[in-house]
Amino acid sequence: MTMNPAYDMTYRVERFERGQAHRVRSVEQRIGGKGINVTRVLNQLGKYARATGFSDHAFAAAAELELPVDFVHALPWVRRTVVISESEDGTATALWEPGARVSNPHAAEQLAVRVAGLLPDIAGLVISGSLPGGIDPSLPAEIARTAIAADVPTICDVDGEALRLAAQVPGIVLTPNESELQRLTGAEPTTADDVVSAVQPLIAHGVRAVIATRGHEGITAVTADGAWSAALAEPLAGNPTGAGDAAVAAVIATLSSASRTDWPALLSDAVATSAAAVVVPVAGEIDRGVRTRLTPTVRIRELDLPAPQEAAS
């Protein structure tokens, strides 16, 4: 589910220098947004996935040419995100437009009803990305609560107040990056063990798992039963845009197909899938050969959970 989709623009240059004119070697435009990226990767993983959320008619029509979609037409226009990709060393610079304000006063209710109608036929739900103007930050939590009540594994990959409210939904899986985790917990974890300590209050209040994406440091996952850190031996250079979405796709693919979760195996797949997105210059795509090659090389470290009295404090 993508409530604030975007047209993803990728400009390729030899080397980007601030304040200078550049000759662009190539330009690519495609439909995007975090949930769209997740949908694309899931389909590449062999999992049938449908995209929903808000859009305008033009974006929905473009999306239908590529993906199964079911959007609420509530946006007057769809924003753009621009990535400047440097061929010299793979550095990427991103510019994100804020997006339009929802023009339909009944849009939130319509989307909630639409997702509720899909729940009997789906195995997992991901709610991703920013919210457009006019949408209350409680909407992701409300939809997540309905999905979890229907026994549908649900991930919320949101930020700010929407993330704080989602963290109050029992059974939710959260996938914050480092800055989102800091805003959520008020802590500034610098190590995997710091992450475990910072999210203990969330786990104690019913969050199923916090899966923190930490860039080159890999991923740290914390549940009520255990905690693990997973990372590559050596990080890959490339375009990190969409790498977190690829990891989320791998996580929901496992959660939606397994009755019992093997968290180390899930994390190995998530790290490898994320890395397989980094080596591709556009978001929403992975190199499946890289994913297959890297999965068995991911380093997993089991972390200690705090003693009960420490967690309670």
Question: Please, what sign has the CA dihedral across residues 34, 35, 38, 43?
Answer: negative
Q: Is 114 helix (H, G, I), strand (E, B) or coil?
A: helix
Q: Full-prediction pTM beyond 0.85?
A: yes
| For helices 263-278 and 243-255, angle between their N-to-C axes, nearest 10 degrees | 150
Number of helices followed by number of strands (H, E) in the chain: 11, 13
Q: How far apart are CA 204 and CA 51, in angstroms?
A: 32
Residue 169 and residue 152 in contact, taking contact as beta carbons nearer than 8 Å: no
**Which residues fall within 8 angstroms of residue 241, CB to CB, at 6 or more apart?**
83, 92, 94, 283
| pLDDT tens, position by position, 169-220 | 999 999 999 999 999 999 999 999 999 999 999 999 999 999 999 888 889 9
Find the Cα–Cα–Cα–Cα dihedral 148, 35, 234, 194, rounded to 10°. -40
pLDDT one-digit tens code per residue, 216-250? 888 999 999 999 999 988 877 766 778 899 999 99
Could you list the pLDDT tens digit for every one of the 313 residues in the chain? 999 999 988 898 999 998 999 999 999 888 999 999 999 999 999 999 999 999 999 999 999 999 999 999 999 999 998 888 888 777 888 898 888 999 888 999 999 999 999 999 999 999 999 999 999 999 999 999 999 999 999 999 999 999 999 999 999 999 999 999 999 999 999 999 999 999 999 999 999 999 999 888 889 999 999 999 999 888 777 667 788 999 999 999 999 987 788 999 999 999 999 989 888 877 788 889 889 988 999 999 999 888 765 555 5
Amino acid at 122: I
CB–CB of 226/211 below 8 Å? no
Cβ pair 54, 111 in contact under 8 A: yes
What token pair was written down for 195?
């992450």
Name the E strands within 256-311. 299-303
Structure tokens at 283: 């978001």
